[in-house]
DNA sequence: TTCATGAGCGACTAGATAGTCGCATATGAC
DNA sequence: GTCATATGCGACTATCTAGTCGCTCATGAA
């Protein structure tokens, strides 16, 4: 790209004024696009929608992006970067699997609450990936990096012979649960209470994920044993539930 | 609609040939639209895309639907009907909360595996609902019915004073988890393994959801109206939920 | 048979949109 | 100051699309 024209020493200070202006413009375009995508959706957004909100000429867009597809790729990378950054920040200090799961939840919760537009963007690019299209671009790799971030943190709590497949399943489950829950909460719960609604589910989620990790470890050690539900859930609790009276 | 023109006795046999033809045509349009939506997405699909795949003239579309928005509303209702039907079929025989959660998982798994196009359609209409748009049509009510189906089955296993807010939270969590998991599995796991990947998570999921129900019962018994987990959320959520059917 | 009704059709219009291109302006090297 | 380069601009064209309208054909009532 033309932005790399600087011969060497690409520090933040020695970017020429022209380059800095170009970067500013590019950022304005991305910010405007992110904003409009979260309102009317990627496909319904026109290039002029974007340049108009960014208060720029239409031609300027094409100076910075070949087309809309490259823009959503950049935005997806930017958004997953924000999310993984939150995850890393919250998860590095975790001392137990409970800590880790709590950190995951907090990071995603913050992402949903504070970076709503990015959340909606990832929802959309994930949809694009799920559609039965041909090309798909390289839109998959940001999500791959995101899942790998989860896996990396999870792996810290798994003893030596790590079952990578199971770790990945858990990563998918975690990622799926939080994004799915928030997206359904947005439909089925009053907006103001979505954040709070996560609280009562928190302990359950943490127990479940920890139990999955435990089972993962346990099956390695002792095979054939019937898996106990969870270290934090007593057998009596489970039993009492299975015989619960049916009443409406 | 013109389909209701029949004066009385609208049995399946006594529909006039003209009416039957119209219904066939309408179904062909919906089928074609569902198929294309799952390939290129709702917004990128043109009316002519649909009529072409249905092998019909463009004007025919407008005889059956005012526009694309009404079409996706109908398709969303149809798709949630398929899903809730699967849920009802699987869940009515449940004898315990474990049974119930297993039934939920099986029904959603089947929906994802067998009715992929409907799954992708619901993913899209849910996105439309999440976007920060103005109108939103009445696209929300099919999802409301879906969540109520889940709640109805859950409520069978809750003793008399049902905490509707918590039941709804669980419904959102279940719906969110399965749709989110499948959608992430589609990105992060080999297609052939998606079905199998749910198995190791099954027990964990069932335990977690059952535990949540137990906690629901316990808090209800102990505190009556107040919730210990999140006191600040009870009032608003409870109020809005108790009028869920009538509110806009 | 005749006629009325409604389904199906596709050319057409009006409007919107993607992408281009030549020009203006700002910057930076000399 | 002068020139070269890069950014920003918006009018323009070529294409695409939504929605309409008058026509044909099938059906069904009389």
Residue matched to tokens 């929802």: A123
- Kindly state whether B126 is in contact with chain A, defined as any CB-CB distance less than 8 angstroms: yes
- Kindly state whether B118 is in contact with chain A, defined as any CB-CB distance less than 8 angstroms: no
Nearest to A184 among B175, B183, B229 (CB): B175
- Which residue from B minimizes the CA distance to A203? B212
The per-residue DSSP string of A117-170 comes to HHHHHHHHHHHHHHS--S--TTTHHHHHHHHHHHHHHHHTTS-SS--HHHHHHH
What gap in Å lies between CA B83 and CA B108, rounded to an integer? 7
**Which of these, A107, A212, A111, A126, lies nearest to A170 by C-alpha position?**
A212
Q: List, in order, residues 6 or more apart from B155 with CB less than 8 Å away.
A: A248, B162, B167
Q: Does at least one atom of strand D sit less than 7 Å from the CB of B16?
A: yes
- Higher pLDDT: A190 or B224? It is A190
Residue matched to tokens 């489950």: A173
* pLDDT score recorded for residue B117: 97
- Higher pLDDT: B164 or A93? It is A93
* pLDDT score recorded for residue A231: 36
- Whole-number percent of chain B with pLDDT over 90: 56
How far is C-alpha A98 from the chain's CA centre? Answer: 20
What gap in Å lies between CA A108 and CA A146, rounded to an integer? 12
* pLDDT score recorded for residue A51: 98
Q: Does at least one atom of strand D sit less than 7 Å from the CB of B13?
A: no
Q: How far is A20 from chain B (nearest CA, A)?
A: 32
- Asked whether the beta carbons of residue B181 and residue A172 sit closer than 8 angstroms, the reply is yes
Structure tokens of A239?
């039993």
Radius of gyration of chain A (CA): 22
What gap in Å lies between CA A219 and CA A238, rounded to an integer? 21
**Continuous segment of H or E residues that includes residue B76:** helix B68-91
Do residues B119 and B111 touch, judged by C-beta distance below 8 A? yes
Parts of chain A with a pLDDT under 50: 1-13, 216-248
Determine which of A105, A147, A173 to mutate to test the interface with B (most B C-beta atoms within 10 Å): A173
Helix%, strand%, coil% for chain A, nearest 5: 70, 0, 25
- Kindly state whether A132 is in contact with chain B, defined as any CB-CB distance less than 8 angstroms: yes
Size of chain B in residues: 248
* Cβ-Cβ contacts under 8 Å, B208 against chain A: 204-205, 207-208, 211, 230
- Kindly state whether B147 is in contact with chain A, defined as any CB-CB distance less than 8 angstroms: yes
A/B interface, count of CB pairs below 8 Å: 245
What gap in Å lies between CA B27 and CA A91, rounded to an integer? 51
- Asked whether the beta carbons of residue B229 and residue A189 sit closer than 8 angstroms, the reply is no
* pLDDT score recorded for residue B243: 30
- Higher pLDDT: A218 or B22? It is B22
Q: How far is the CA of A17 from the C1' of D1 (A)?
A: 21
Nearest to A38 among B131, B162, B168 (CB): B131
> What value does the mean pLDDT take over residues B76-94?
97
Structure tokens of B158?
């809750």
- Asked whether the beta carbons of residue B230 and residue A168 sit closer than 8 angstroms, the reply is no
Q: How far is B19 from chain A (nearest CA, A)?
A: 34
Q: How far is A52 from chain B (nearest CA, A)?
A: 19
- Higher pLDDT: B34 or A101? It is B34
What is the average pLDDT value for chain B, to the nearest integer? 81
Name the residue with the least CA to C1' distance from nucleotide C20. A59
What gap in Å lies between CA B187 and CA B134, rounded to an integer? 31
* Crossing angle between the packed helical segments A68-91 and A140-155, to the nearest 10 degrees: 10
**DSSP secondary-structure letter at B156?**
T
Q: How far is the CA of A230 from the C1' of D17 (A)?
A: 57
Q: Which CATH number fits domain B76-242: 1.10.287, 1.10.357, 1.20.140, 1.10.1760?
A: 1.10.357
Q: How far is the CA of B96 from the C1' of C10 (A)?
A: 59
Return contacts of A189-195, CB within 8 angstroms, 24+ apart.
A189/B168, A189/B169, A189/B172, A189/B237, A190/B236, A190/B237, A190/B240, A192/B236, A193/B233, A193/B236, A193/B237, A194/A112, A195/A109, A195/A113
**Which of these, A119, A127, A167, A129, lies nearest to A147 by C-alpha position?**
A167
Q: How far is A87 from chain B (nearest CA, A)?
A: 18
What gap in Å lies between CA B138 and CA B161, rounded to an integer? 31
* Cβ-Cβ contacts under 8 Å, B248 against chain A: none
- Going B47 to B124 to A41 to A192, the CA torsion angle's sign is positive
Asked if residue B4 has pLDDT above 50, the reply is: no
Helices (H), A41-67: 47-53, 58-64
* pLDDT score recorded for residue B97: 87
For B55-72, the pLDDT digits (tens) are 999 999 999 999 999 999
- Asked whether the beta carbons of residue A176 and residue B181 sit closer than 8 angstroms, the reply is yes
Q: What is the CATH number of domain A74-221?
A: 1.10.357.10
- Per-range mean pLDDT, top range of A7-21, B184-198, B218-232: B184-198
Structure tokens of A143?
């999500």
Domain extent listing, chain B? 1-65, 76-242
> What value does the mean pLDDT take over residues B197-207?
80
* pLDDT score recorded for residue B215: 66
* pLDDT score recorded for residue B23: 94
Q: Does at least one atom of strand D sit less than 7 Å from the CB of A78?
A: no
| Nearest nucleotide from residue A60 CA, by C1' atom | D8
Asked if residue B237 has pLDDT above 70, the reply is: no
* pLDDT score recorded for residue B138: 86
Q: What is the CATH number of domain A14-65?
A: 1.10.10.60
Strand D bases within 7 angstroms of protein beta carbons: 6-12, 16-22, 26-29
- Kindly state whether A187 is in contact with chain B, defined as any CB-CB distance less than 8 angstroms: yes
Per residue in B187-222, is it b (16+ CB within 10 Å) or e — as a string?
bbbeeeebeebbebbebbbbbbbbbbbbbbbebbee
Q: What is the CATH number of domain B1-65?
A: 1.10.10.60
What is the average pLDDT value for chain A, to the nearest integer? 81
Q: What backbone torsions phi and psi does residue A62 show, to the nearest 5 degrees? A: -70, -15
Per residue in B115-128, is it b (16+ CB within 10 Å) or e — as a string?
bebbbbbbbbbbbb
Helices (H) and strands (E) in chain A, counts: 10, 0
> Facing residues of A247 across strands?
B157
Q: Does at least one atom of strand D sit less than 7 Å from the CB of A57?
A: yes
């Amino acid at each position: 790209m033309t932005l790399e024209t600087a011969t060497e020493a690409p520090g933040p200070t020695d970017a020429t004024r022209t380059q800095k202006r170009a970067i500013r413009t590019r950022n304005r375009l991305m910010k405007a696009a992110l904003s409009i995508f979260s309102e009317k959706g990627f496909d319904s957004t026109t290039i002029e929608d974007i340049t108009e909100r960014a208060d720029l000429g239409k031609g300027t867009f094409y100076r910075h992006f070949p087309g809309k597809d490259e823009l959503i790729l950049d935005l997806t990378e930017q958004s997953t970067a924000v999310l993984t950054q939150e995850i890393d920040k919250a998860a590095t200090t975790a001392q137990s699997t409970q800590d880790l799961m709590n950190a995951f939840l907090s990071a995603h919760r913050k992402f949903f609450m504070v970076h709503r537009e990015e959340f909606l963007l990832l929802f959309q690019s994930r949809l694009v990936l799920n559609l039965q299209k041909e090309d798909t671009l390289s839109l998959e790799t940001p999500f791959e990096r995101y899942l790998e971030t989860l896996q990396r943190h999870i792996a810290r709590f798994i003893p030596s012979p790590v079952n990578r497949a199971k770790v990945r399943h858990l990563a998918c489950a975690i990622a799926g649960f939080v994004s799915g829950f928030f997206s359904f909460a947005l439909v089925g719960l009053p907006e103001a209470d979505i954040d709070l609604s996560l609280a009562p589910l928190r302990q359950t989620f943490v127990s479940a994920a920890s139990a999955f990790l435990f089972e993962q470890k346990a099956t390695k050690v002792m095979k054939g044993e019937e898996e106990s539900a969870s270290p934090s859930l007593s057998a009596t609790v489970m039993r009492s539930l299975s015989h619960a009276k049916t009443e409406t």
